[in-house]
Structure 1
């Protein structure tokens, strides 16, 4: 019985793909600029990684998926669609978003959490949704939040700051009054 369980675990492990590091992807041809942040569980297409280009100051939040191929036709047509993915400079891609093959994202772009990017996104814009659609130009979006009179918390007011129960309670009270606030 123990041997059967070990064999089953081995078969399952062989079917689960291991996480590939950014450094390994770069060694295989993916281009990445400086100050790149890859959130936890973010997957970059390791099969066609040399077709992915990421600019400077880019953040891919947790669980983002960037695909340079689409194998949906493989079982019926016998081949896979392949396309380059280019992500410009100063781009933020929200958690659990998906970027599909053949997409170019311009500079100074924010993509909302959970978005599915199926088409090119121009510079200086904010997109979100499934499929991703324009929400605003970047300047309008930033000025709306910049001129807010909401509380701005410092990093000491985050999990990294090792907050006391009283400090957590104080922050919760502020958020109950303001709805949304900000953190540095």
Structure 2
């Protein structure tokens, strides 16, 4: 109960200060950011506020915490007194892992996964997984999903009642045990 109250207070405070993700996206849209349906932006993400009208984000996109999406490069300012501006595009059904940076001018295709901590400096084609610094091709998304699906079974697959804010300590212990036994667990 105390934990839920603290989370509620944090949520209210963020909204009042204009720091919650929904408020940030609303303000960026007013400045020209294009965002499709079912867009999820987790805490700490930065979408280039001064050049957001150069950024297009498709449908079914998730930004994990602390992702940065850029549309400008100010490294030229001291030398040219101009900043480079480039269009940055994120396709449909894209997941961008925690702490990743999408550099200005990059296009991510559809059905793309970007691994955590990646720095994406070049375009990523459809149906690809890229990771690293600089990000490089690892696998097709279809191959990865097929491998992961083969690992799923009734012991290591869990539904929403197992979310940390809903699960009992016994439920959490079970997920941990199954992840250890199978090398991974899956949560809806």
TM-score, with normalisation over the residues of structure 1? 0.85
2:115 to 112, 116, 126: 112
Q: CA distance change for structure 1 residues 149 and 58 in 2, over 3 Å: closer, same or farther? A: closer
2:73 to 70, 73, 80: 70
Q: What root-mean-square deviation, in Å, do the aligned CA atoms of Structure 1 and Structure 2 show?
A: 1.5
1:131 aligns with 2:134: yes
How far is the alpha carbon of 1:71 from its aligned partner?
1.3
How far is the alpha carbon of 1:139 from its aligned partner?
1.1
2:61 to 41, 58, 75: 58
2:170 to 145, 166, 177: 166
Following the alignment from structure 2 to structure 1, what is the Cα–Cα distance between the partners of residues 118 and 37?
A: 24
What does 1:4-153 align with in structure 2 at a 5 Å threshold? 21-150=24-153, 151-153=156-158
Counterpart in the other structure of 1:5: none
Higher deviation after alignment, 128-137 or 165-174: 165-174
Higher deviation after alignment, 28-37 or 142-151: 142-151
**DSSP 3-state at the match of 1:147:** helix
1:65-120 deviation digits (Å, cap 9, x = unpaired): 00101112323332222111011111111111100001011111111111111000
Q: Which has the higher helix share?
A: 2
2:159 to 145, 151, 154: 154
Following the alignment from structure 1 to structure 2, what is the Cα–Cα distance between the partners of residues 149 and 48?
A: 42
Count of matched residue positions in the alignment of Structure 1 and Structure 2: 166
1:126-167 deviation digits (Å, cap 9, x = unpaired): 111111111111111110011114511111112132x22222
Following the alignment from structure 2 to structure 1, what is the Cα–Cα distance between the partners of residues 141 and 177?
A: 31
**DSSP 3-state at the match of 2:165:** helix
Following the alignment from structure 1 to structure 2, what is the Cα–Cα distance between the partners of residues 61 and 149?
A: 23
5+ long unaligned stretches in structure 1: 1-17
Following the alignment from structure 1 to structure 2, what is the Cα–Cα distance between the partners of residues 29 and 122?
A: 25
Higher deviation after alignment, 137-146 or 174-183: 174-183
Moved over 6 A (4+): none
Higher deviation after alignment, 72-81 or 32-41: 72-81
5+ long unaligned stretches in structure 2: 1-17
Larger Rg: 1
TM-score, with normalisation over the residues of structure 2? 0.83
Following the alignment from structure 2 to structure 1, what is the Cα–Cα distance between the partners of residues 40 and 174?
A: 31
Counterpart in the other structure of 2:187: 183
How far is the alpha carbon of 1:179 from its aligned partner?
2.2
Counterpart in the other structure of 1:14: none
